[in-house]
Structures are given as structure tokens and as C-alpha cells.
Amino acid sequence: MTVQTAAGTVPERPASTWTGWGQWLALATMTIDHLTRYVFPSAWELDWAGSSLGRIAFPLFAAMVAWHGLFNTRNPMRYARRILVIGIAAQLPFMLMPRASDAFLLNVCFTLALGLAWGAWLRDLLERHRSGSLSSLWLATAVTATLTLWYLLGDWVEYSHRGLLLVPLFMLAMHHLHSAGEELTERLIAAALATPLLVVAGLMNATDMAKSFTVATCLAVLWLAAGAHRTTPGVPLEMPRRLWLTWYPGHFALIALWLWASGGLG
């Protein structure tokens, strides 16, 4: 659906009702993933839950960050800074989680915030290039610089290089799927621009089960961007804002406390 403005016909801002459901699902699947990874004994053989339901969490968080950054905020960079604040609060308990490698790693909030900042900046560069205020040479130079930063930062954040790509690719796909008209050519272009997201999502995991859950999550959100957002009913119980902002650092702190009490951090 489109609306008429002084600048011409533009796509109407999509409904964000689905994100109310997404918040509950993202927190639940993330918690399942972390409980099976850090808390439940390996003898319980619950790895399947982390490799299935647990693989929903990150693409869903990335999708909601991209959606809000694209459609619901006038200042994506300020939104990215808010995500960074949560990441800073969670970093210490995150570092206490047992891992196979002792290498320093920034938690997923840094991945999401950097991805959002990257996607928003690239979008701004492309708009300036289309308006004629940025030359092709400067555009190419800026994109090359961001790719260099992506390469350097990828080893320092959770979900690595592919994780950093997810939010910008979601933004690209969502924009074109939402703004595509009724013409077949526009719809085919939108579908083609969604393909890189699905490829990266498929490459993020090792097992076929994990790949299928990650890709299916991305497909579901792309379907919403293509128009299904209009039919999503409201969530019966909205996520309390304080719970949404504190759950990520808070649940890591509780897990760290449990591991310390049970000797798991020793």
C-alpha cells in the first residue's frame, strides 16, 4: 500500500505488530539456547534444543533491529547506541560463560549494533549518491572502507563476519520487499535482493537442522515484510520494556551465579 505525499507516492510504513510476538519468541529461544549450552548437564542430551529452537533467536533479533532501524526510528545511530549500552552491561557476565576458546569476544549486542550502524550508514551513502551529493568515487571508497572494518571486526564479535552481515542484508531485503509494486519485474528484483540474506543465514550454522531453523526464521520475516505484516494480530501481553532491556544482561548474570554456586566457573 502507498500514500501520496508532496514528494510523490511512497510506500506506507508497515505495521510492526509482529514484533510484539517476536520479542517473546526471541527471548524464549535465546534462553533455551543458553540454558542447554551452559546450565543443563550434557548427560541430559538436550543439544538438539539449542541446534533447533536456539537457532531462531539471533536471526529474529537481527530482523527486529533491522525492521525498527528501517521503519520505526528517525535516528538509527541512536538506536544502535542503545543496543550498545545493553551489550556493555552484559559483557562481564557474558565473558564468564564457559567456552572452548579463551579468545576475547564481544557479545551479540555489539554484533547487532554494529550491523545496524553499518546498514544505516550504507543506506545514507546510497541516498546521497542518488541525489548527486556524493560522487561514485567517494561512494566506492566509503564502501571499501566499511568492508575493511567488517573484515577487521568480524573475529571480535559473536557470530563473526556473517553475523555482522545479517542486519544490513535484512534492511536491504525488507526495503525492497515492502516497496515493491505490483509489477513482476519489481517483485523479481525484490526477491533477488533477499537471496543474499538467505545464503548468509544458511552458512551461519554447521548442521542441517540449525541451518533450516535459521533460514526458516529469515523467510518468515521476509514474508512479513512483503505484506503479511498487515494480517498479524496484536500480542495478548506486551513485553514490559524493563524486561526487554534487562533480560539479556540479567539472564547471563543469573547463569554466571548458578555456575559459580555449582562450581562450574572453577
In this structure, which amino acid lies at residue 142? A
Radius of gyration of the chain (CA): 19
In this structure, which amino acid lies at residue 139? L
Give the angle subtended at the CA of 251 by the CAs of 247 and 253, to the nearest 5°: 120
Could you read off the pLDDT tens digit of each residue along the chain, which spans 266 residues?
A: 454 444 445 568 899 999 999 999 999 999 999 999 999 877 788 888 988 999 999 999 999 999 999 999 999 999 999 999 999 999 999 999 988 777 899 999 999 999 999 999 999 999 999 999 999 999 999 999 999 999 999 999 999 999 999 999 999 999 999 998 888 899 999 999 999 999 999 999 989 999 999 999 999 999 999 999 999 999 999 999 999 999 999 999 999 999 998 886 65
In this structure, which amino acid lies at residue 255? I
Q: Which residues of 203-217 are buried (b: 16+ CB within 10 A; e: fewer)?
A: ebbeeeebbebbbeb
As given in the structure block, the three cell numbers for residue 19 are 514484533
Is the whole-model pTM more than 0.85? yes
